[in-house]
Structures are given as structure tokens and as C-alpha cells.
Amino acid sequence: MSIAGNVGLADLPRICPLISRRVQGRSDSAETRVVQVGAVRFGEARPVVIAGPCAVESREQTLAVARAVKAAGAEMLRGGAFKPRTSPHDFQGLGEEGLKILREASRETGLPVVTEVMDTRLVETVAKYADMLQIGSRNMQNYPLLVEAGKSGKPVLLKRGMAASLCEWLGAAEYIAKEGNLEIVLCERGIRAFPAGEYSRNVLDLSVIPAIKAETFLPVIVDPSHATGVTRMVEGASCAAIEYGSHGLIIEVACDDAGAARPMCDAAQAINPETLKRIVQFVDSHTESRVMRKAHAV
């Protein structure tokens, strides 16, 4: 500890012994804990692509995006039923109705669903419909929520706080682990740093991926949509994240065929299904070469 309250990487074994690679003795940084959500496995050679709308806005929109996402080759569906919005006057999500729609989309496509829970009082409700709980950036340090998510027994996608250090982020993951739940996937979603906001929504911190792999055995994925905030940047950010060793991606998608409504939420960063398909193809070819490299190494 240097300044009172400040912590550094040297403090991690004390802050988060349950998820610390140094404490738990999994010294090979290639060894990752596999987190399973339905048939989907995070932490293996093949990165997992999660895709779907920012928000569940209607049944029609969600089913259309879910079908497109499935057709593009993604393995899991995302979508917010409870939305953390900057203005309380903006669309807040459809709530439990949205969860039911997600469940229906999952049943039809076979894709497991991850959705955000923002409130301790709603963990049970969200866990009833979701295959994986998402803790959003704004709630990364909502400790009572982390505890409840831990107790739920559901796998948790823990997004990085937009101003969180690696130690704070892993400390948050430890709260979930302390409840006996090690089914945690970390998600880098961009941080607030100069020049965030000028030409991109946040700054995508790719360097954190190898740093995480050195410190913990938990899988880590990247959200190129919130990291960049710009549709035309999402594909490049996705490929870069995979090249950098990300165990997966979570991407916002909107249908762009004639008649499809413009999303109320985060339209400026949504990609179309065709772009998603290219990203999935990139992930496929990357996985093949990764597996081949490994085979040649032994």
C-alpha cells in the first residue's frame, strides 16, 4: 500500500485469495477456469461470442435480433430488461416482461441468455429467467449486489467499472467468489480516460487482458460496443481483442432490414448481423490457427 486506501498488484493475494492465481497455485497463465453456461464454455481455446440488442425493446425486435444472431453463428444472447440509463426520463427497459421475452428468444434459438441485474431485490427474479447474471459497469462496486449474485448460484458476467483499477475489479469478483460462486467471467468494457468521449465512448484497455491472465484463472471477455460506442469501430476492436487473448466478446446488434425500428438504446454502436457474421468467422479462423500453433508446439 502506498497512499492510504490505494492498492497495487502486490496486494492482490490478500485482497482476493480465492481467485488469485498466485495464491491458488495455478501458475501456468494459459490455464483458465472453464465457466459453463448451458452448453457454452468460457475459457477454452474457442472464444465465445455473445450478441444481441442493447435493450429488450419489444418481443418482435428481440426475436428478430435473436434469430439473426443465431444465424450469424453467435453462441449466446444478450439483452437488457433493466437498463441503467443516464437520464431517469429515458427508456428504463421492460422489466420482467423483458425477461420473459428473452426466455422465449432463448427457447426458440437454443442460445443461453445473459442479462443485467441492477438491484439486490431483483436478483431472484432475474435469476429465474436468465442463464447468466450481468453486473454492469455502474454496479461493479455495489457490494450487496455482488453478494446476492454470488448467492444466486448463477454464473456471473462482471463488467469492469468505468473507472476501476484491476485491483478494484478483482476485489469485486472476490465478493462473488466468497459466496462460494466461482462461475465468474470478467468483462473489459472500456474505461474513462483521456481522450474518452472525443472520438470514442471509452478507451478500450486491451492491456488488461494479459494482466488479468497473470493474476487470476477466471476467463475474461471484451465488450467492443460500449468500449468504442461507434458502430464502425466495433469490428476492429473485436478482432484486436481476440488477437490479444480475450476469451470472448459481447456485442450489441440491431437488425437493419427495411422496416426494422432504430433502437432506442445505443443505436450509434449497434452493428448489423452481417458484420457480426464476419466477426464470428474471424473468431473461427483465429481459433483454428491457435489450436494449430498449440499442436505444433508440443
Residues that bind ligand PEP (CB under 6 A): 54, 80, 84, 116, 136-138, 159, 189, 223, 226
189 binds, among ligand PEP, Mn ion, none (CB under 5 to 8 A by kind): ligand PEP
Residue in this structure with the C-alpha cell 465465445, named with its chain if needed = 48
213 φ, ψ (degrees, to nearest 5): -60, -30
20: which strand partners?
216
Looking at 116, 148, 174, 266, which residue binds Mn ion (CB under 5 A)? 266
235 binds, among Mn ion, ligand PEP, none (CB under 5 to 8 A by kind): none
Among the residue ranges 29-37, 140-148, 201-209, 262-270, the one whose residues contact Mn ion (CB under 5 A) = 262-270
Residue 11 Cβ vs ligand PEP, minimum distance, rounded to whole Å: 25
Cβ–Cβ under 8 Å, residues 278 and 249:
no
Please state, in angstroms and rounded to a whole number, the distance separating the CA atoms of residues 114 and 117: 10
Output the residue with the shortest Cβ distance to ligand PEP. Answer: 136
Look at the chain and count its residues. Answer: 298
Nearest to 62 by CA among 72, 75, 51, 73: 51
The site for Mn ion, by CB under 5 A, has a size of 2
Among the residue ranges 8-16, 57-65, 130-138, 264-272, the one whose residues contact Mn ion (CB under 5 A) = 264-272
Instruction: State the cell numbers at 14.
Output: 490478500
Q: Is there binding between residue 57 and Mn ion (CB under 5 A)?
A: no
Residue 89 Cβ vs ligand PEP, minimum distance, rounded to whole Å: 17
51 φ, ψ (degrees, to nearest 5): -150, 160
Residue 201 Cβ vs Mn ion, minimum distance, rounded to whole Å: 10
Which is nearer to Mn ion, 171 or 273 (by Cβ)?
273
Which is nearer to Mn ion, 57 or 266 (by Cβ)?
266
Cβ–Cβ under 8 Å, residues 138 and 122:
no
Which is nearer to Mn ion, 56 or 242 (by Cβ)?
56
Binding positions for Mn ion, 155-214, rule CB under 5 A: none
For 262, other C-beta atoms within 10 Å of its C-beta total 8
Among the residue ranges 54-62, 175-183, 256-264, 282-290, the one whose residues contact Mn ion (CB under 5 A) = 54-62
Looking at 19, 54, 167, 270, which residue binds Mn ion (CB under 5 A)? 54
136 binds, among Mn ion, ligand PEP, none (CB under 5 to 8 A by kind): ligand PEP
Residue in this structure with the C-alpha cell 495464491, named with its chain if needed = 23
> DSSP of 148-209, one letter per residue?
HHHHT-S-EEEEPPTT--HHHHHHHHHHHHHTT---EEEEE--B--TTTTTSSSSB--TTHH
Provide the binding-site residues for Mn ion, judged by CB under 5 A: 54, 266
